Structure 1
C-alpha cells in the first residue's frame, strides 16, 4: 500500500513542480523587462497560451494517429516476421531493420519530399495532402518497425511448452497464436508499447522543421509576433516543455507500474 501511495504522490507533485518552475521563470523574465509601453514576457505568454496549446493539440492528434497506424501495421509486420515461409519472413525482417535503424529526421524528410502535395482522384478532382498528415505517416514508420520487433520478441519469449501443448490439442498454428500465444503476449507488449507512444509524442515537435504548425512551430511564431525579445526565450520554451512533461510523465509512471505488476505475475 505504501509503495502505491508513493508512486501516486510523485505522479501529481512532479507536474505541479514543473508548472511552478515555468511560472517562476516567466515572473523572472517579467522582472527583467523594464521597457515602458511594451507587454512583459509573462503578459505575452498569457496572451499566446491558447495559440500554443492549439498547436499542442495537433501534436497529440499526430501522435494518436501515428501510433494507431504504427500498431496495426506493426502487428501485421510482426506476424510476417515469425512466418515459417521465408518469402514472407525475409522481406518483413528487412523492412523492420531498415526503419528501426534509420534516423527519424531522415525518414521524415524523405516522406515529406517523396509524397506528393496533392493527389488526383479518378474523377479528376484534386485533393491536397496537408504537411501534418505526411509528417504523421513519417513518424509512424519507425514506430511500426519497433512494434513489429516487440511482437516478435514477445512471441519468442513464450516457452516452447505452450506451443507443444497446443499442438497436442490439435490446434493449428493460427489457433495457437490466437488463443494461446497472443493473450500472453499482450501483457509483455503493453509497457514497451506505452514507452514508444511517449517517445513518439516527444518526437512530434520535429515536424516544425518542415513547417507544420504544431506546438513548437506556434511557440516560435508567437515569440516572433510578440517582438522576438530575448527575455521571451525562457518562459515560452519552458511552458512548451511543461505541457509535454505534464502529458508524458504520468504515462511513464503508469508504464513502470505495469512493468512491476506484470513482472510479479510472471
Structure 2
C-alpha cells in the first residue's frame, strides 16, 4: 500500500475512529467522577475519630486497590443485566457504563489514599502540599484513559474496537500496523500534554513547598 493510499485511508476513517476515542474519554471521565466521589467519602471516613469507622473505610480502600479491573469488567458485564426495571419502567444499562463502573474501582482506592494525604496537609495548613492532589488526580485520569481500551472486550465501540472494524473492512496486512499506529497517536496527543502540564504543576508546587519550609 502506497503512502498516499495509507493517508487517504486513515483520513477516510478518521471521523469514525475519532468518535471511538470520544467514547474512551467519556468512559474515563465517568469512571473518574464515580471513583472521586466514593473515594472522597472513604478518605473522610478514614479521618474519623471513630476507630471502627476509620478501620472499615481502610479495609474497603484496600479491597478497591486489589481488585483486578479487567476481571471486574467481565464480572459486571455478566452481573448487571442489559436492562433494569425501576417502578415498572425498563432502563437500558449500556456496556460503556459497565466499563466506567469497573474502572472506577481503581479510582476509588487512588482517591481515598491521595485525598487522605491532601486532607491531612490541609489540616496542618500546608495548602501547597494539599494542592499536589490535583496533578496526581489528572495524571491518574491519563492512566484511566489508556485503560479504557479494555472496554472493547465487552462490546463498547471505543477506538480499539473501531480499529478492528476498519482493519476488517479495508483488509491487507499493512492495514493493521497503520491503523493501530494511528490509534496510538490519539492517546499520545491526549495524554502527553496533560502529563507534561501536570509534571510542570507538580514541580511548581514542590518548589513552593520547599520555599515555605523554614
CA distance in 2, matches of 1:142, 1:55: 23
Residue of structure 2 equivalent to 1:241 = 184
Residue of structure 2 equivalent to 1:72 = 37
Bigger-Rg structure (1/2):
1
**TM-score when normalising by structure 1:** 0.73
2:114 pairs, out of 116, 139, 150, with: 150
Structure 1, unaligned runs of 5 or more: 1-28, 32-38, 163-179
Residue of structure 1 equivalent to 2:81 = 116
- Once the two structures are superposed, residues 150-203 of structure 1 have per-residue CA deviations (whole angstroms, 9 ceiling, x without a partner) of 0122334x398x3xxxxxxxxxxxxxxxxx57x556412112111111101111
CA distance in 1, matches of 2:128, 2:98: 35
CA distance in 1, matches of 2:129, 2:64: 23
What's the secondary structure of 1:46's corresponding residue? helix
- Once the two structures are superposed, residues 48-85 of structure 1 have per-residue CA deviations (whole angstroms, 9 ceiling, x without a partner) of 11111110011111111111121111111111122121
Q: CA deviation at 1:117?
A: 1.6
CA distance in 1, matches of 2:194, 2:52: 39
What's the secondary structure of 2:2's corresponding residue? helix
Query: For the Cα contact (< 8 Å) 2:83–2:93, is it kept in 1?
Result: yes
* Aligned-residue CA RMSD (Å): 2.0
Residue of structure 2 equivalent to 1:96 = 61
CA distance in 2, matches of 1:230, 1:102: 37
What's the secondary structure of 2:167's corresponding residue? helix
1:193 pairs, out of 108, 128, 137, with: 137
Residue of structure 1 equivalent to 2:2 = 30
2:103 pairs, out of 139, 149, 162, with: 139
Query: For the Cα contact (< 8 Å) 1:41–1:231, is it kept in 2?
Result: no
Query: For the Cα contact (< 8 Å) 1:155–1:185, is it kept in 2?
Result: no
More moved, 110-119 vs 256-265 = 110-119
- Once the two structures are superposed, residues 109-151 of structure 1 have per-residue CA deviations (whole angstroms, 9 ceiling, x without a partner) of 22222222211011x1211101001111111111111111001
Structure 2, unaligned runs of 5 or more: 210-214
Residue of structure 2 equivalent to 1:232 = 175
Q: Which runs of 4+ in 1 moved over 4 A?
A: none
Q: How many pairs were matched up?
A: 209
Residue of structure 1 equivalent to 2:206 = 263
Residue of structure 2 equivalent to 1:53 = 18
Residue of structure 2 equivalent to 1:211 = 155
CA distance in 1, matches of 2:176, 2:2: 12
- Once the two structures are superposed, residues 200-247 of structure 1 have per-residue CA deviations (whole angstroms, 9 ceiling, x without a partner) of 1111011001111001101111111223x1110121001000011001
What's the secondary structure of 2:131's corresponding residue? helix
